[in-house]
Structure 1
Amino acid sequence: MRKSYRVKKEAEFQKVFTQGKSCANRQFVVYVLEKPGQLHFRVGISVGKKIGNAVARNWVKRRIRQTLTELKPKIRQEIDFIVIARPPIAGVSMAETKKNLMHALRLAHVL
């Protein structure tokens, strides 16, 4: 994802957490904040230390980014959203990761 598609600053994360709506399944929590007039969506990814060591966390982040890149044309444009990985995602296959993330995004009306 290019920089313009990312939520990076702590203040931006907090704004999505406090003002946005959340939906969850067993593997992911998705917070969504409507941003009318925005040219394209922005996403933040959070993987906590409960997932595992740095290698495992980066592995999960790469899989989430890959899934979002594949789904890019289907994602609504005028939103900021944050994807938070829960511990059961560690050790799950790419197909399962994609299926679970798509389910969470549909629940949050991102897709």
Structure 2
Amino acid sequence: MNKSQRVKKNEEFQAIFKNGKSFANRQFVVYCLENEQAYFRVGLSVSKKVGNAVVRNRIKRYIRQTFLELTDQIYPNMDYIIIARNPAAKLDFHETKKSLEHVMKIAKAMKKKS
């Protein structure tokens, strides 16, 4: 994922929280909001309550890799904020990917497989 595909600034996070729609499952919460770019952007939030720095960074790596693998299935011109919940700390990569796919389908943020 390029740096241009990330939501970094606090004002952008707050705008997405305020104006976006949220969808959740047990492991993740996703906020979605349309943007003007031709690509989607992702912001990650993993609280210290989830685990130590090693655990939090692993979760963020897994999320980024999942978005990289699903790039062609995810709708462009959208901003997504992914918030990891406590159970996400116990997941391996494949479970993380499956859980994220599930919550993105709930959010109707993924194209149907052809």
* Bucket of the pairwise TM-score, normalised by the shorter protein: over 0.9
Alignment correspondent of 1:39 = 38
Where do residues 1-111 of structure 1 align in structure 2 (5 Å cutoff)? 1-35=1-35, 37-111=36-110
CA distance in 2, matches of 1:3, 1:95: 24
CA distance in 2, matches of 1:91, 1:26: 12
Letter in 2 for 1:54: A
CA distance in 1, matches of 2:19, 2:90: 32
Letter in 2 for 1:13: F
Task: Give the drift of 1:77.
Answer: 0.6
Deviation track 1:38-72 (CA, whole Å, cap 9, x = no partner) reads 21111101111111100110011001111110001
Task: Give the drift of 1:91.
Answer: 2.0
Unpaired segments ≥5 residues, structure 1:
none
Task: Give the drift of 1:108.
Answer: 1.1
TM-score (norm 1): 0.95
- Aligned to 2:63, the other structure's residue is in SS state helix
CA distance in 1, matches of 2:108, 2:81: 13
Letter in 1 for 2:46: V
Point out 4+ residue stretches in structure 1 off by more than 2 angstroms.
none
Unpaired segments ≥5 residues, structure 2:
none
Task: Give the drift of 1:110.
Answer: 1.3
Figure out how many residues of one structure are paired with residues of the other and give that number: 110
Letter in 1 for 2:76: Q
CA RMSD of aligned residues (A): 0.8
